[in-house]
Chains A and B, each alone.
Chain A
Amino acid sequence: MSDWKQRARELAAHMLEVPQDATMDVPRVILIGGSHLLVENHRAIVEFSGTKVRLSLTKGELVVEGDQLVVKTILPDEISIEGKIALVRYIDESR
């Protein structure tokens, strides 16, 4: 997505007071307890093992660490992970 388009969207979202995730390709992460993690708007799965899952985002990466991690379901833009989640780290490469 080109830079000016992105900025226009940001501006529109800001002016209309809409949550950013509704208009833009920003991820939405829901963590339920320490056992369920739902990520919307991910791009791809970069790394998967029982202890670490890395997801690529539009900008940056999301790292999930834990134990006995299982991908319950995966769709092109949605992933739900279950297991003993110890850490969720957001890496924004654009900064």
Chain B
Amino acid sequence: MMLGKRLWMAIGGSVELTVIGPGVESFINRALEQGIRPWMIYGGQTKVMMHVDLADARKLRPVARASRVKIRFGKRIGLPFFIGRALRRKAFLAGFCVFVLLIALASTLVWQVDVVGLKNLSPQSVLQAAKELGIDRGSWKGKLSNADELQTALLDKLPELAWAGIRVHGMKVTIEAVEKVPPVKTIPLAAQNIVAAKRGTVVSLFVTHGSAQIERGTVVEPGQVLISGTMQDGKQVAAEGEIKASVWYVSHVEIPLIAVRKTLTGPRLRRDYVLFGNAPVQVTGYSAIPYKQYETRSIDQELQIRGWMVPVRVRTVYYMEYFDQKVQLTSQEAEGRAMELTKADVEHHVEKGGQLTSQTVLQMKAEHGKLYATVKSDVVEDIGRSEPITP
């Protein structure tokens, strides 16, 4: 109540009052009866200072007369007086008007131009184009009223754009731009032949440019022309196409018949860390790792508190004991491994997109604790290689 009252006083205005005479007390009591609420009453026996509401001030004269005291008004406090004083000062008033005018003027100008939605085009080029159309920092907003026309004009200036939108938010202009998807560029090719890169049997051919020199089932040698860039009428084009051929690879592999396997023994040790950024701080598991051979597995967890991501992670590391177990491979297991090894070997040589169709063991021999195998792998792959035609 107090604050509300004080605030009201400040807005409504109040007057400092000096009451002189022996009837000060009766003056206060009579004032209270009249509904006047003085505050901050201080002073001496016959001269008392107090504050009253501006609205109550003119009711005080009759009260003072009845109590036989003299009243004198002092300082006047509050917004009404402040405004009154301010209005009397010409320079202040002029300054205030200029200020209001400036703010009003400033708010009709564009203060910031933003470009959003660009992918490849630089914002500067869009800003430059906008500037030529009169959308720039400091330009008058009134000019932006017909946004449709400006958008069309902007599109004319920037053919790279598929769409442009101009929005005005207060003193900020946002240009939204959507770029056209650039057309796929075709590279003009020089005249060329497609020749075989590897020896193989043609399985399928798909010619887009040029004339095929082979057919399905042809066994081709490396360097042999598969698609010719020279047409029958002597015109030369860039031959293009896909020639898939069955190519075989022979791999020699050796597999040790005794394999060493890591086998976990069971015991493990746990250590917990708290990560601040990238700095781990160990929390648990200070004992030394008692294992001769061990494997570590580390699990990181993000810490979340009520869905808020905390820049602290928790890392748990397990140290697991293992020993090397020697295992005698059966011949089937050894063969399986040989095939796997072959596959990995062949994949090194095959072009991308090649497909392993079959694997055949040509020879297998167990000797000195190892399995020696020769495996033939058939792969269907694109064997075409472009070669420029030299006149």
Contacts and interface: CB of A to CB of B under 8 A. Distances in A.
Given A74-B39, A75-B37, A48 B29 contact: no
Q: Which of B25, B43, B48, B50 has the most CB of A within 10 A?
A: B25
Q: Is chain A's binding surface mostly helix, strand, loop or mixed? A: strand
A61 to B, nearest CB: 13
Contact of B39 (A46, A69, A71): A71
Interface string A6-50: 000000000000000000000000000000000000001111111
Contacts of B44: 49-50
B21 to A, nearest CB: 12
A76 B34 CA distance: 10
Contacts of A44: 25, 29, 32
A69 B49 CA distance: 12
A88 interface: no
B233 interface: no
B28 to A, nearest CB: 5
Contacts of B24: 48
A17 B90 CA distance: 68
Interface range on chain A (Cβ under 8 Å from partner):
10 to 19
B25 A47 contact: yes
A76 B40 contact: no
Nearest to B6: A73
Contacts of A50: 42-44
Contact of A70 (B25, B33, B42): B42
A48 B42 CA distance: 9
A37 B138 CA distance: 62
Contacts of B42: 50, 68-71
A68 B44 CA distance: 9
A48 B48 contact: yes
Contacts of B48: 48
B304 interface: no
A72 B45 contact: no
A82 B337 CA distance: 100
B181 to A, nearest CB: 76
B38 A74 contact: yes
A73 B41 CA distance: 8
B37 A70 contact: no
Contacts of A49: 43-45
Interface string B6-45: 0000000000000000001100110011000111111111
Nearest to B49: A70
B19 to A, nearest CB: 10
Contacts of B29: 44-45
Contact of B28 (A69, A72, A74): A74
A70 B40 contact: yes
A95 to B, nearest CB: 25
A79 to B, nearest CB: 9
A24 B217 CA distance: 122
B40 to A, nearest CB: 6
B93 to A, nearest CB: 36
Contact of B32 (A47, A72, A76): A76
Contacts of A45: 25, 28-29
Interface string B324-339: 0000000000000000
B339 to A, nearest CB: 96
B40 A72 contact: yes
Contacts of B41: 48, 70-71, 74
A73 B25 contact: no
Interface of B: 2, 5, 24-25, 28-29, 32-33, 37-45, 48, 50
9 contacts: A44-B25, A46-B25, A48-B28, A48-B41, A68-B42, A71-B40, A71-B42, A74-B38, A76-B32
Interface of A: 44-50, 68-76
In the A-B complex, the 10 residue pairs with the smallest Cβ-Cβ separation, listed nearest first, are A71-B41, A70-B42, A44-B29, A49-B45, A73-B39, A45-B25, A76-B32, A45-B28, A49-B44, A48-B25
